[in-house]
Chains A and B, each alone.
Chain A
Amino acid sequence: MSNNSEEVLNLVRQGLVDSTGECFSAVFQTSLKNTDILEKNSKNNQIICSIGFAGGIEGNVSLVFSNQTACLLVSKMLSMDIPEVSSDVLDGVGELVNMIAGGLKNRLTTSAYNFEISIPTTIQGQELELTTLKDSLKVMQRFETNEYSFDTLVSFRFPVKKKEDRFSPAASTTPSSVDSNPFARLNALMNDSGGSAAA
Chain B
Amino acid sequence: MKKILVVDDSGVQRKMIIQIIRKAGLNHETLEAGDGEQAIQILAANYNTVGLVLCDWNMPKMNGLEFISGVAKVPLVANIPVVMVTTEGTAEKIAQAKQANPNLAGYVAKPFTPDQLKVVIDPILAKAG
Contacts and interface: CB of A to CB of B under 8 A. Distances in A.
Interface of A: 22-23, 25-27, 29, 74, 77-79, 87-88, 91-92, 94-95, 98-99, 101-103, 105-106, 109-110, 117, 119
B12 A78 contact: yes
Interface of B: 9-13, 15-16, 19, 58-60, 86-90, 92, 109-113, 116
Given A22-B111, A79-B19, A98-B110, 19 more contacts: A23-B111, A27-B111, A74-B12, A77-B16, A78-B16, A92-B10, A92-B12, A95-B10, A98-B87, A99-B87, A99-B110, A102-B86, A102-B89, A103-B89, A105-B87, A106-B90, A109-B92, A119-B9, A119-B60
Contacts of A94: 10
A144 B104 CA distance: 38
Max count, chain A CB within 10 A of own CB: residue among B13, B15, B111, B116? B111
Contacts of A98: 10, 58, 87, 110
A103 B10 contact: no
A94 B89 CA distance: 18
18 contacts: A22-B111, A26-B111, A26-B116, A27-B111, A29-B113, A78-B12, A87-B11, A88-B11, A91-B11, A91-B12, A102-B86, A102-B88, A102-B89, A103-B87, A106-B88, A110-B90, A117-B58, A119-B60
A101 B19 contact: no
Given A74-B12, A79-B19, A91-B11, A106 B111 contact: no
A21 to B, nearest CB: 10
A91 B10 contact: yes
Contacts of B112: 26
A99 B16 CA distance: 14
A146 to B, nearest CB: 21
Max count, chain A CB within 10 A of own CB: residue among B19, B59, B110? B110
A92 B88 CA distance: 18
